[in-house]
Chains A and B, each alone.
Chain A
Amino acid sequence: MSLKIDQDHYRFRNIVRGKIRDNLRRYISQGELIGRKGKDLVSIPIPQIDIPRFTFGDKQQGGVGQGDGEPGDPLGGDPQDGDGGAGKAGSEAGEHMLEVDVTLDELADILGEELELPDIQDKGKSSVVAVKDRYTGIRRVGPESLRHFKRTYREALKRAIASGTYDPGDPVIVPQHEDKRFRSWNTETEPVANAVILYMMDVSGSMGDEQKEIVRIESFWIDAWLKKQYKGLESRYIIHDAVAREVERDTFFHTRESGGTMISSAYKLCAQTIDDHYPAEEWNIYPFHFSDGDNWSMDDTLSCIEIMKKDLLPRVNMFAYGQVESPYGSGQFIKDLREHFGTDERVVTSEIRDKDAIVSSIKDFLGKGN
């Protein structure tokens, strides 16, 4: 049934997708995007656009609540801004924080559509061909073990009706030899497109929680997109300060170390991992490195560049470097990379100023379809 609201709804969808009314996009509330539940479900808040008004800054304000708790106890959850007075014409009992489930695939689709990401071109690495037999066809001859019961029955029924021997009162169908149908297989070849993402992150003292949050959100989306593009996607996580080590996903996002920064240590470990597990002929390899751009010394930066030139770039599809702005970092590293690889298509660099810049940075990384 068509409703009057459909038109308004359609316009709203288009605003959210950025097709029209670009100036409103920045008020689309972002919220937490990660929160995977179950198999491949993720909960995301429903997009809401705030119309900006003269209003109060929230945090100064606080509010009034009801329930248990001693002074100093956390409230738990983010209270909705406490404008008890506002509200619409007597509708709605208790507004809950709404979360809606979308499958990861749908999300990746939305992402691709939003950012107009091209599908990834295969770099000819899918030469390894897997052969697989699939039972997709039907034949008139074959072994009894592959007999297709339904098809056979149908043929027999057709014949019985056509020859006038079918009796609705006693609907017994006896299949004869020519009625029999058998499943048969077709041999399919499919290219194996295997991909690995190697995430590297600087966890030295200068990377704060906010910076890590940015890395976390960004890597989630990169994961989602590449998973959609490749069947067998693996992810590896490397953290480094002055030394690098491989860690679990969870550790990757929550570690806080201090101390110096030697980026080359991570690149060495990355090259090592590729050597050991991911032969370049068979794998599409995507190293992503996030840091605040503060390296220990120029010497170390030079050795990074050396490792990239010699060990990494010849094997990877793309080398991505994302620089998160932090109050402590000098932000020098991205400049060095640009100087050395300015024209190299395989190296993509992106500066991520704040959360809002994540979207454009993802586009930087994935927009080329490498």
Chain B
Amino acid sequence: MPTFATKTGLPRYLRDEQERIEKVAASLGLDFFPVVFEMLTYDQMNEVAAYGGFPNRYPHWRFGMEYERLSKSYEYGLSKIYEMVINNNPGIAYLLEGNSLTDQRLVMCHVLGHVDFFKNNFAFRATDLDASGQVVDPIKSHGKYEPNRKWVDKLANHGAAVRRIVARHGIEKVEDFIDKCLSLENLIDPYSPFVVRHREEPEDEEPREVEVPRLHAKEYMDSFINPDEYMEEQKKKLEAEREAKKDKFPKERQRDVLLFLLDHAPLERWERALLGVIREEAYYFVPQMQTKVMNEGWASYWHSKLMTEHVADPQDIIDYSDSNAGVMATSKGQVNPYKLGVELYRHIEERWNKGQFGKEWEDCDDLDAKRHWDLRLGLGKEKIFEVRALYTDVTFIDDFFTPEFAVEQGFYTYAWSNRNERYEVETREFKAIKEKMLAQFTNFGSPFIYVEDGNHENRGELLLTHDHRGVDLRADYAREALASLVRIWKRPVCIRTILDGKEATLRYDGEEQTVRNGDA
């Protein structure tokens, strides 16, 4: 598009800044892809931000919605986009025309942190592409790590493909179908790139005979520990299970509902193409969702370190502090990922510098000794670099969110009070905070849903199960999501879940929704 990609290059003085900052960052150990900074006007910025950072996406109203929100809030001075960078090789980041030099420096430092993270955190390997633009298996080793991540091109190609479909079938029809796909967007298997979910069984081979695992025992004890009757009984049970499984479809319950639909739903070609696009993009954004806290924390850690120790001139400091404080602000009802992340990294760094880890530390009950614990190991920097490569938010918080940290940072949990009809602070107890925190980050706060049966009740209906972990599904939204599934599966769809403490099955047949209590 001609309006874009013209005159977005950096002016000379900013190119010099970039060079200088990159040199400092590299000398401190950051390892990033080459970064291309583009300079945008505020409406271009809002446009790109609405597209999730990409100059070109498929047409859809929700980008327009995002654009309206961003431009209104910019025009009314409520917020402005502070930085934007996309996971691509080369890294692409945007600077807002007319920002002060201090802000531009701050953004550059922040962006380098992100690009280092994109390159080095393992989760992002799931976004490596091969020469033809397909996602490669991230588990296989590559030698020197210079991955292809031309996602800007890929998403632009998606845009072109969708536009072709629109030209053929009309925007109404296509957009409606995209809405349906988007309402199922979270039904994917975030860890699937790193796990082998099922192995192919060779088809022509007879299935091996059922073998009951025996408990290890000395020979003379064997008949007591693994009695024959019991072994026989177990064998029958396993055989029955296998028999029941034989006609089951899918064989194992499947987490990637979108993949199941792509493989098995009766879709027209253009519908399949759209669903494929949505699924691929959903997977592209997974690592960013898995590492929101770590990623923002890492970038904030580095912008603060780079700015205050190397980059900022003395007269920048006040402006820098002001911008930085805005980013780090905490709120009563929400965890600020920037703040949580940066504080966790600093906490880790301090602990490993002082040797506050390991068995001796864990076993120490003397609070005073703990407070003055300092073995002067100086391992902090090494540790945080390791953490940024090997963790995602859930493991990050699970391992490093400690009681000391929770107290220091003033965390609490809150809950809805039915009596007072408002949200209230619930407790400051560490266990509750951590549990709730982890629950929020597990599966990005989405429910766990699986395809259980593609031929439910032998009527070609689709049965999903919701792995209920204490919180019910939102009923009206669940109904709409079921409706989307019906549109794609073209047969009735059920979901088995728990409502108000009772097992329930929601079923939608295209016309009405029924709720049946108990097992379906």
Contact = CB atoms under 8 A, between A and B. Distances in A.
B436 to A, nearest CB: 5
A59 B473 contact: no
Contact of A85 (B76, B440, B477): B440
B251 interface: no
Interface stretch (B26-34, B63-71, B234-242): B63-71
B182 A12 contact: no
Most buried by B among A3, A7, A101: A3
A57 interface: yes
Interface stretch (A88-96, A211-219, A256-264, A341-349): A88-96
B416 A56 contact: no
A96 B72 CA distance: 13
B411 A54 contact: no
Contact of B85 (A54, A90, A99, A100): A90
B292 A49 contact: no
B306 interface: no
A97 to B, nearest CB: 9
A54 B481 contact: yes
Nearest to A62: B415
A332 interface: no
Interface residues of A, number: 71
B165 to A, nearest CB: 16
A24 B254 CA distance: 30
A84 B64 contact: no
Given A63-B414, A91-B49, A54 B187 contact: yes
Most buried by B among A49, A73, A76, A99: A73
The 10 closest A-B pairs by CB, nearest first: A79-B333, A12-B64, A8-B64, A52-B480, A9-B64, A62-B415, A85-B444, A83-B445, A75-B423, A52-B477
A71 B329 CA distance: 22
Interface string B259-289: 0000000000000000000000000010011
A364 to B, nearest CB: 25
A74 interface: yes
B60 interface: yes
Band of interface residues on B: 35 or more
Contacts of A79: 331-334, 414, 423
Interface of B: 1, 3-4, 43-44, 46-47, 49-53, 56, 59-65, 67-69, 72-73, 76, 78-79, 81-87, 114, 171-172, 175-176, 179, 182-187, 285, 288-290, 292-293, 295-296, 299, 326-327, 329-340, 393, 409-416, 420, 422-428, 433, 436-437, 440-441, 444-447, 449, 466, 471-481, 495
17 contacts: A5-B67, A8-B63, A9-B67, A11-B175, A13-B64, A52-B481, A56-B472, A57-B471, A63-B333, A66-B331, A79-B333, A84-B293, A84-B441, A89-B86, A91-B49, A92-B49, A94-B331
A95 B3 contact: no
Contacts of A68: 410
What DSSP secondary structure best describes chain A's contact surface? loop
Interface in A15-56: 15, 20-21, 23-24, 46-56
A56 B445 contact: yes
Nearest to A56: B471
B56 A94 contact: no
B285 A89 contact: yes
B477 A98 contact: no
A144 interface: no
A58 B414 CA distance: 12
A71 B447 contact: no
A52 B176 contact: no
A309 to B, nearest CB: 43
Contacts of A50: 477
A80 B334 contact: yes
